[in-house]
Amino acid sequence: SMYNFTTNTYQMKRDIINFSKKICIDSGKPQNKFVTDMIYGISKSKDILLSSIADALDEDIKKINTIERLSDNLAFDIDSSIDDKYCNLVMDSLGDNPVFLVDDSDVIKPLGQKFENLGIVRDGSSKKKSYEKGYHHTEIVGLTKNMKQPISIFSKIHSSTQKDFVSANSITYEGLDKVISLLNKKNLKGSFVLDRGYDSNDIFNYFFSKNQYFTIRLTERRKVYCNHRWNKITILRDSFKGKIKMKLMFQGEEKECFASVTRVQITAKKKWINVIFVYGLGDTPMMIASNIPIKSKEDVIKTIRLYMKRWRIEEYFKFKKQEYHFENFRVRTLKSINNLNKMLTYTIGLIALLSEKIGKREFVNEIIKQSKSLKDNVYLWFYQIARGIYNILKMAKNGIRDWKHIRKQKVYDGQLSLL
């Protein structure tokens, strides 16, 4: 019914405004307005092109003026208190045993001429893994407590051609430092999951020094200390058979596999850790190193499952690129690109927080219904929620402009607060 549309669009705008208010509470009105405009515009257009966002905002001025205003805002520093508030919301959604996935991706700009510091990156999604013009993209996401949805806490687009560029690793450490300082504030210990691209003594020593849990996939080059001598990890791997039987979801199908675990010492610090070998998933067994205490068979299985959650960050990258055409941005300076990325991060952050309420909040179930999706049960709820929001806001007759000052009554506060 028409009534349903209007209440849905009303509620959706309401949620976006409340979310923006929450993260912009310590910054001025112009920033709050800009952030609200961006989150609304990106949600409504499912796009990050400023012209699409301007269309979605539907202001009664020339479209070019809206585009210029957004573009000017992206060129300036965004108040750092906004990110602090956003990160606090994220941390609250992760529960007491937070899991973080760390990964690198690339943003390919094959035809880019005018982009600042455009570097050369390996195109991970091309068949030939060819080199293309583009940027590196370093991301750390947490997994929400209930639905295990990826929610970003650190996202940076950078280039090896920047003047002050040290190494991709320095960006990784910048992100890890940020997450760990948030953990320390809450007096929590995190579990960090990393792919074999991060198998280095530096990374192991870093996690030991910061007193955090890690689960890292090892490369075949890795050497470990075992039975009073240094061995190549592959020699160890081939000496085990895999006694622990388990089922794992792998590339969309359930596979039966076998695991073995052994204690080894690693790196110059000679710290003891567990190495788990998983046989039967691919052509070569998977090797995972972790300092999470393992006391039982169940602990082994838990640690392997934890590592397998890593694909959720790859899904996150894919979602950003597919649903919002992230690689298609037109802003040209690295600062603008990163600010645009931030606005998209907040938009997807709102989606992750909404998906935590699936089954618990009527309106979120309504959003999923509006997405008109066929599959009921999914691992990543983002596509359904993003499409649901898009379908709901399609019906909105006017932008979000007249909305920002409405309903100051205190009566509703309790029941209508967003999260």
pLDDT in tens, 378-395: 788 999 999 999 999 998
pLDDT of 285 reads 95
E strand intervals along 70-208? 99-108, 119-122, 131-143, 150-158, 191-194
Q: How are beta strands 244-250 and 213-217 bridged, if at all?
A: unpaired
The Cβ of residue 133 has, within 10 Å, a number of other Cβ atoms equal to: 17
Token pair 């990163």: residue = 338
CA–CA gap between residue 248 and residue 265 (Å, rounded): 28
The Cβ of residue 16 has, within 10 Å, a number of other Cβ atoms equal to: 24
| Six-digit token string for 273 | 């850790």
Phi first, then psi: give them for residue 237, nearest 5 degrees.
Answer: -55, -40
**Do residues 339 and 72 make contact, with C-beta atoms less than 8 angstroms apart?**
no
Phi first, then psi: give them for residue 197, nearest 5 degrees.
Answer: -60, -20
* Type and span of the H or E element at 260: strand 253-266
pTM of the model: 0.92
pLDDT of 409 reads 44
Residue ranges for the chain with pLDDT beneath 50? 406-413, 417
pLDDT of 413 reads 47
CA–CA gap between residue 285 and residue 398 (Å, rounded): 56
pLDDT of 410 reads 47
* pLDDT tens profile 312-324: 999 999 999 999 9
CA–CA gap between residue 216 and residue 196 (Å, rounded): 7
The alpha carbon torsion through 241, 246, 251, 254 (nearest 10 deg) reads 130
